[in-house]
Amino acid sequence: MNISVILCTWNNSARLGVTLRAFLGLELSETVSWELVIVNNNSNDDTRGVVSQYADSLPITYVEEPKQGLSHARNAGLAKAAGELVVFADDDIKPCNGWLNTYWQAYCINPEGYFWGGPIVSEFEESPHDMELIRLAPCSVRGLDWGPDERFLVDGELGVPS
């Protein structure tokens, strides 16, 4: 197994469905094998039902972790993951089609001691009321894009583009 994507979720089944639909569009080389390890972290919504809708179309390994907390969920996912490369994903993302392929290519070039990332585009369910507040939010909320060229971050960048 080349890649394990670990996706932990808790009571977010509606948005999880959007994420899993986006995973259907991933473009990956036929020579690369992957799995999607979904960890249900003690949800009491329809998470299991949403995941089962994609069981025939995505390479899903389903894990139930009753002990609440992201660390417990990630550790449960890691215990089941078979991939050489592990990629953590949130249950509310919409990855672009080349997302996983780009991670694999980066890993093949630099297999040890690196962290990779790409642009983050925020998608709000409704228009934010205070754009000044959004500007001060972390990049996971406000978005982030350092451009199309591969590069190393320099000390002090810490999520604030120059």
d(CA 10, CA 44): 8
φ, ψ of residue 82 in degrees (nearest 5): -115, 0
Torsion of Cα atoms, 128 then 129 then 130 then 133, to 10°: -50
Domain spanning 3-117, CATH class: alpha beta
Sheet holding 85-89, edge to edge: 60-64, 34-40, 3-9, 85-89
Domain ranges in the chain are 3-117, 120-162
Per residue of the chain (162 residues), what is the pLDDT tens digit? Answer: 999 999 999 999 999 999 999 999 999 999 999 999 999 999 999 999 999 999 999 999 999 999 999 999 999 999 999 999 999 999 999 999 999 999 999 999 989 877 777 788 888 778 877 888 888 888 878 888 888 888 777 777 765 554
β pairing state of 85-89 and 3-9 = parallel
d(CA 24, CA 47): 18
